[in-house]
Amino acid sequence: MKDLGYLSYFLGIDVTRHAGGLFLSKKKYTTEIIERAEMSSCKGSPTPVDTKSMLDTTMSKPFENPALSCQRTSVCLFMHDSREEHMHALKHILRYIHGTMDFGLHIFPSSTSTLILYTDSDWGGCLDTRRSATGYCVFLGDNLIFWSAKRQATLSHSSAEAEYRGVANIAHIFTKGLPLVLFEDFWDSLSI
């Protein structure tokens, strides 16, 4: 084994050390996307979707950025039968990516190691299936370590049920590795 020095690039993520901790970004990856789309000289956009557009209707797998998750999925729904408005939405997303290439995640030393989970759900947000969407954020101390935004697998009959499913799903992620202990009345078993 040999020491390769400080980590600088790992799994497509640029890692930069600074006085307060680490800065994680995907600048190299986003630059490749913009160059492949031949939009290197475009002007950046402050928002991920044109606010006049009605494409923003669903939520699914994330695109490495919570703000883009919904918009990327909306555009992908029309990939096989795209129209001019879909290309307009896609170019708007690419302009947003171009404008936010220097954004990233700061990781700071934290005095606490408390695990904090936040979740929120809408109710029937998908206009096609009426399924709800749930978003999660998980912090270890002061640092965001995990997030997800996706459509729920089943239909919820109320906003309370949608919220409960969101909480149950994130709780399941963090408890499924724990051993399941079953308790049984011992005296009834002895009489068999």
Q: Are 46 and 125 within one domain? A: no
Domain assignment present for residue 54? The answer is: yes
Pick the more confident residue, 166 or 52.
Answer: 166
Identify the pLDDT of residue 17: 92
Question: Are both 95 and 133 inside the same structural domain?
Answer: no
Pair 154, 135 in one domain: yes
Of 181 and 97, the structure prediction assigns the larger pLDDT to: 97
Question: Taking 60 as the threshold, does the pLDDT of residue 187 lie above it?
Answer: no
Number of domains in the chain: 2
**Structural tokens at position 134:** 């749930």
Average pLDDT, the chain: 77
**3-class state of residue 179 by DSSP:** coil
* pLDDT per residue as tens digits for the range 98-131: 888 888 888 888 888 888 888 888 888 777 788 8
**In angstroms, how far is CA 165 from the centroid of its own chain?**
18
Does residue 119 share a domain with residue 79? no
Phi-psi map region of 11: left, alpha, beta (phi>0 left; psi -120 to 50 alpha): left
Give the domain extent around 157.
113-175
> Is 63 or 154 the better-scoring residue by pLDDT?
154
Q: Is the same domain home to 62 and 129?
A: no
pLDDT attached to residue 87: 78
pTM metric for this prediction? 0.60
Instruction: Give residue 82's pLDDT.
Output: 65
Q: pLDDT digits over 145-179, tens only?
A: 888 888 888 888 888 888 888 888 888 877 776 66
